[in-house]
Chains A and B, each alone.
Chain A
Amino acid sequence: NPYAGLVGHLRAAWLSGKTRPMEYRMAQLEALGRFLDEKKQDILEATALDMGKPSFEAYFSEILLCKNELNNTLNNLSHWMKDEHVCKNLVTQLDSAFIRKDPYGVVLIIAPWNYPIHLFLVPLIGAIAAGNCVIIKPSEIAKNTEKLIAETLPCYLDSDCFAVVTAGVEETTRLLENKFDYIFFTGTSCSPSVGRIVMAAAAKHLTPVTLELGGKNPCYVSDNCNVQNVARRVAWGRFFNAGQTCVAPDYVLCSLEMQEKLLPALREAITEFYGSNPQESPDFGRIVGDKQFCRIRALLCSGRVAIGGQTDEKERYIAPTVLADVQPSDPAMQEEIFGPILPIVVVANMDEAIDFINARPRPLVLYAFSCDSKVVNQVLERTSSGGFCGNDTLMHVTLTSLPFGGIGNSGLGVYHGKFTFDTFTHHRGCLHRSMGLEALNAPRYPPYSQQKLGMLTAATEIKRRGMCTLL
């Protein structure tokens, strides 16, 4: 077991209580802030090398959103850490009853390549805030970012309690043989199957997990909408990071008439964003690797190419592409696209769209566009998904106050903001009673009697609150 020593080292540090004091956690979090500030340029360069990420996108999604999470945590940590006192019944009225926020211990965070800083850093913030020791496993696919993290992050964090491990598929499997106290896994495109492997490994040690997976995020566009706005918002969500976003709108569902209106609007939005030749735009990313490029390119033979469709293997460039008249049996509808291709599947009406969505695995996010809030609410009511956004894409993940996570094949567990702290915290129910006041306990001891039972239930049982019906 090549990692046993490292895990043991971290576990010893945790048992020593080093990560418990608030001052320690704040210091480590502030060091993370300095990492983001001082390594900002390196992060922009590494992500540009890895997937042609435009600096603006990298700054927004990898630096700014992380700083938000960091500041939110630093602003609130002392409050989150406090014991939460709870309601008591008659028998425990004089006692102290509270929820203690305990760390789990040694946590493993496995991150993907598409937002390689954000998707390890935001969980890491919560894990540190909650008082854990952490092993960070960045993705080997984003090679330059992996190298940056492995070489520079340890300079900022306490090496007794935090470590970066670089590992491919083989070594990650070996790493997972160790006993961790929590495993946080974010996966991409083929993630449901890898998620299963992680959970199965966790099951051997009864380790709790959060799995942030993926799926095909449907985007329903009703006939009643502002087509130009819809086109911009959907195009932005689809083509950001060249489509390599777990919450990107994966496919559009709309009527035939709406498809005919959307196509020119999307064409206009794409030109507005990336110019007449997106390959020359500095604001459009590239596919992370050759394997992924080939996979996505193969999806182009679905429906008909209405916009884009050009590819350049050398640059791993795939043009912002819209496919029209796509059939459910087409290749683009068989897997999460994770690339800059937007298929449009025609449905007759909203009911058909909802049935289409409900016949498929539950997505990480569901989008619905309509000027009629009733329509948006109907879609929300009659479907199930990790998250939901009406009349926009991606934006719900920028609010630290909203829990982010999947359901079914798209994942289990939630995080962001306080939810990250709660994810990595064991809520320990505590009751501190008096050594005396034994008379309060007398009714519960044998020998049992009906009278004692009456006293106990009167003192402890919760009554149904009276319901008045005003006629």
Chain B
Amino acid sequence: SLHEGLVGRLRAAWLLGKTRPMEYRVAQLEALGCFLEEKKQDILEATALDMGKPPFEVELSEISICRSELNHMLNNLGTWMKDEHVEKNWVRGRGWLRDIWDGKHMSLTPSFTPQATQLDSAFIRKDPYGVVLIIGPWNYPINLLLVPLMGAIAAGNCVVIKPSEISRNVERLVAEMLPRYLDKDCFAVVTAGVEETTRLLENKFDYIFFTGSPSVGRIVMAAAAKHLTPVTLELGGKNPCYVSDNCNVQNVARRVAWGRFFNAGQTCVAPDYVLCSLEMQEKLLPALREAITEFYGSNPQESPDFARIVGDKQFQRVQALLSRGTVAIGGQTDAETRYVAPTVLVDVQHDDPIMQEEIFGPILPILTVASVDNAIAFINARERPLALYVFSSCKKVVNQVLERTSSGGFCANDTIMHMTLTSLPFGGIGQSGLGRYHGRSSFETFSHARSALLRGAGREALNTPRYPPYAARRLPLLRATTETKRRATCTIL
């Protein structure tokens, strides 16, 4: 199969143990940091060419966030790599243990019996998987490639990196520059379109990390199934944004507009649609209009702070979503520059085109619901999203929505921000994905938690209770040394 030689080469390097020492991993991670530093200008230019990304957005969402993840990893790698020693069996309780075994014998056992495994060493060893494949998407082409890569390197794996062919300029940059920073024996960049990626997936990998759409996610998982390869799939969906009547409308408008229009809406955790009452809709519209003007001026097409759609195909798809509903704000498009204005749609029906797919563009539909119960029912009748947003000054309302729904992640009174904390696991559920990463979760995603029990070669007396010939008298002893007792529950009346 395609790239068989490459995968074989990386597997040989892994079997040699090259990626195991901490010093090696730290060196590769620091090289990644150099890449981010030295190639920053190239990254700004490439992302600007690919989707008109404003440099500020790139600095924040591609460079700074990668640096944070990298530093967090370098700060903690030593701790994360350590063997985790675990609790061993121990006997609880005092006095006599009554035992009834097979209904015929009742034997009494004293509580000072020796521990079965107290003298042994029991720990969890963090082993790499081996050769990992990371497939990145085009919308945050550096962030969504590099943050998983850091986790894979930190965990001691070799990696095949497949950047998106749709963000062409970044793809070229990554393919030409990244190999200069990383050890070629253990890390390789592969450029591939849909066809070649399918061929690439025929190879046996030891872990596959995929960010992209649910339909391609199915294809990746099916390919992984052939080799029993574990996967993490970061997919997408329609992220609902419920706005209750009890809120600061201007703040809500700014936070929602920021989340929706950042990167011209091409964000997997962007608020996809708003659910609110009719009264709230009437208050939100002028507030959103004000926020959009505050952000991008009276003609956003002239603002240097608003991005463009990545390609013609995607532009046409997004533009077609404007065919139904009423444009309340924006609605202008320009095919030549792939510009779609920051847009808000009202009078949207649940069966309109815009409600049938993830928008992934700068359009915010508002659907009216009568109550929070209706909003929850609406959300639960649909696929579970990657993110769920609730805006309410009332804590009870926030908690109700959190309790009664299911989503990858959740953020109250803001959008996107939950994704920026390295300490929160980031991932989907159901159609929005499986697995999680960021921070320590990245390291753990690419590590196999290997249980290890090291016993002494002697002390055979401890083992005799378990050997045949089995006898009634032996079981209480064995049971006492391995049993976990139920802790007494006291009810204070």
B 231-257 contacts with A by CB, 8 A: 233, 235, 247-248, 251-252, 254-255
A210 to chain B, nearest CB (A): 10
Docked CA distance A233–B467 (Å): 9
A430, CB-defined interface residue at 8 Å = yes
The B contact surface, by secondary structure, is mixed
Residue of A233, A370, A429 near B410 (CB, 8 A) is: A429
Mark each residue of chain A from 249 to 290: 1 if its CB lies under 8 Å from any CB of chain B, else 0. 000000000000000000000001111000001111000000
Interface centre among A60, A89, A412, A429 (most CB of B within 10 A): A429
Docked CA distance A463–B73 (Å): 11
B173, CB-defined interface residue at 8 Å = no
Structural contact, A408 and B221, CB atoms closer than 8 A: no
Given contacts A402-B451, A446-B295, A447-B305, contact A41 B103 (CB under 8 A): yes
Give the residues in chain B near A464, CB-CB below 8 Å: 71, 74-75
Structural contact, A408 and B468, CB atoms closer than 8 A: no
A54 to chain B, nearest CB (A): 6
B176, CB-defined interface residue at 8 Å = no
B212, CB-defined interface residue at 8 Å = no
Give the residues in chain B near A407, CB-CB below 8 Å: 127, 129, 448, 450
A388, CB-defined interface residue at 8 Å = yes
Structural contact, B475 and A92, CB atoms closer than 8 A: no
Interface residue tally of chain A, by bracket?
A: 35 or more
A 85-103 contacts with B by CB, 8 A: 86-89, 91-92, 97, 99-100, 102
A387 to chain B, nearest CB (A): 4
Structural contact, A208 and B434, CB atoms closer than 8 A: yes
Structural contact, A206 and B424, CB atoms closer than 8 A: no
Residue of A390, A429, A445 near B424 (CB, 8 A) is: A429
A 432-471 contacts with B by CB, 8 A: 432-436, 438, 441, 444-449, 452-453, 456-457, 460-465
B368, CB-defined interface residue at 8 Å = no
Interchain Cβ contacts within 8 Å, total number: 341
Structural contact, A206 and B418, CB atoms closer than 8 A: no
Structural contact, B225 and A432, CB atoms closer than 8 A: no
B 37-52 contacts with A by CB, 8 A: none
Given contacts A388-B452, A445-B258, contact A430 B410 (CB under 8 A): yes
B360, CB-defined interface residue at 8 Å = no
A193 to chain B, nearest CB (A): 10
Residue of B412, B423, B426 near A88 (CB, 8 A) is: B423
Residue of B nearest to A398 (CB): B482
Give the B interface residue count (CB, 8 A): 123
Structural contact, B430 and A67, CB atoms closer than 8 A: no
Mark each residue of chain A from 388 to 416: 1 if its CB lies under 8 Å from any CB of chain B, else 0. 11111001101111111101110111100
Mark each residue of chain A from 32 to 70: 1 if its CB lies under 8 Å from any CB of chain B, else 0. 000000000100100000000011110110001001110
Give the residues in chain A near B229, CB-CB below 8 Å: 412
B420, CB-defined interface residue at 8 Å = yes
Give the residues in chain A near B9, CB-CB below 8 Å: none
Docked CA distance A213–B229 (Å): 13
Q: A86-B423, A204-B218, A462-B68 are in contact. List 14 more A-B contacts (CB 8 A).
A: A20-B403, A92-B417, A199-B224, A206-B221, A236-B466, A388-B450, A398-B117, A428-B407, A431-B412, A433-B414, A446-B296, A457-B60, A460-B68, A465-B75
Cross-chain pairs A/B with CB under 8 angstroms, 29 sampled:
A56-B468, A68-B484, A88-B423, A206-B433, A225-B457, A229-B457, A272-B467, A274-B469, A373-B454, A380-B125, A388-B452, A391-B454, A401-B88, A412-B230, A427-B427, A429-B419, A430-B402, A432-B412, A433-B413, A433-B417, A435-B251, A435-B392, A436-B251, A438-B248, A448-B57, A453-B56, A462-B68, A462-B422, A463-B71
- Give B contacts to A, CB under 8 Å: 15, 17, 54-57, 59-60, 64, 67-69, 71-72, 74-75, 86-89, 101-103, 116-117, 122, 124-125, 127, 129-130, 206, 214, 217-218, 221-222, 224-226, 228-230, 233, 235, 247-248, 251-252, 254-255, 258, 294-297, 303-306, 380, 391-393, 398, 402-404, 406-414, 417-427, 429-431, 433-436, 448-458, 460, 463, 466-470, 474-475, 478-479, 482-487
CB-based closest 10 A-B pairs = A56-B470, A448-B56, A429-B424, A199-B225, A203-B221, A402-B451, A431-B418, A86-B423, A401-B86, A446-B305
